[in-house]
Amino acid sequence: MELADRAVGFLLSFISLSIFTYYTFWVIILPFVDSDHFIHQYFLPQEYAILIPVFAGVTLLFFLCIFVGMVMFKSNKKKP
Amino acid sequence: MILLNMIRTEQCFSHLITCTMKHVVKILSILVTISAIWVGLLQTSIVPRSHTWLLPIYFVVSLGCYGLLMVGVGLMQFPTCPQEALLLQQDIMEAKEFLKQKGVDVSSD
């Protein structure tokens, strides 16, 4: 059990660090690289740098609302 | 005695409030600084506009990454004390035995 928790923690930190590195490269460093450089083929166009986080945030909020709603519904049902 | 306790509680409470106030002021000043720099970048347009518009989203994403990293590190270094858990289980067994002898029903479930 403890090992599984540790593995999940390691996975979470690894995912967050890799996302941060990739996004920093994408947003901060890439505008200063020539547009015909080979590194550009590893990154999506600049518009997706806005679209993907916004989409992810909206999805997260959606699932959070559904979760909270379900919990409230269940607790309301239990009372009477 | 009660008055003294009340005064102590009051002091604790005010200390807590000032602590949170300090924290709020810190966070607010950081936010104001960042937005001032951002507005300055937008106005002077040293960097192309389309890239300056990306900066707030970049900050939100990095904040999310920081939160995820902190959760991961906290999970990795979660303090557990197996010896104490064993001792606690022994204590619980002992207490259950004792209470059963006295005729108290402590069956869980």
Spell out which residues of chain B touch residue A2, defining contact as CB-CB under 8 Å: 78, 80
> What is the identity of the amino acid at B33?
T
Identity of residue A34: D
* CB A31 within 8 Å of CB B48: yes
Question: Which ipTM value was assigned to this complex?
Answer: 0.76
Is the pLDDT assigned to residue A25 strictly greater than 90? no
How far is A19 from B62, CA to CA, in rounded Å? 9
The pTM assigned to this predicted structure is 0.67
Q: How far is C-alpha A26 from the chain's CA centre?
A: 15
Enter the tokens of residue A13: 């930190």
- CB distance B63 to A2 below 8 Å: no
pLDDT reported for residue B3? 59
Residues of chain A neighbouring B48 (CB-CB closer than 8 A): 31
3-state secondary structure A37-57: CHHHHHCCCCCHHHHHHHHHH
pLDDT in tens, A29-45: 877 777 777 777 777 77
Provide the 8-state DSSP code for A31.
Answer: G
* Averaged confidence pLDDT in chain B: 83
Is the minimum CB–CB distance between B76 and chain A shorter than 8 Å? yes
Model confidence at B90, pLDDT cuts 50, 70, 90, reads very high
Tokens matching residue A20: 């941060």
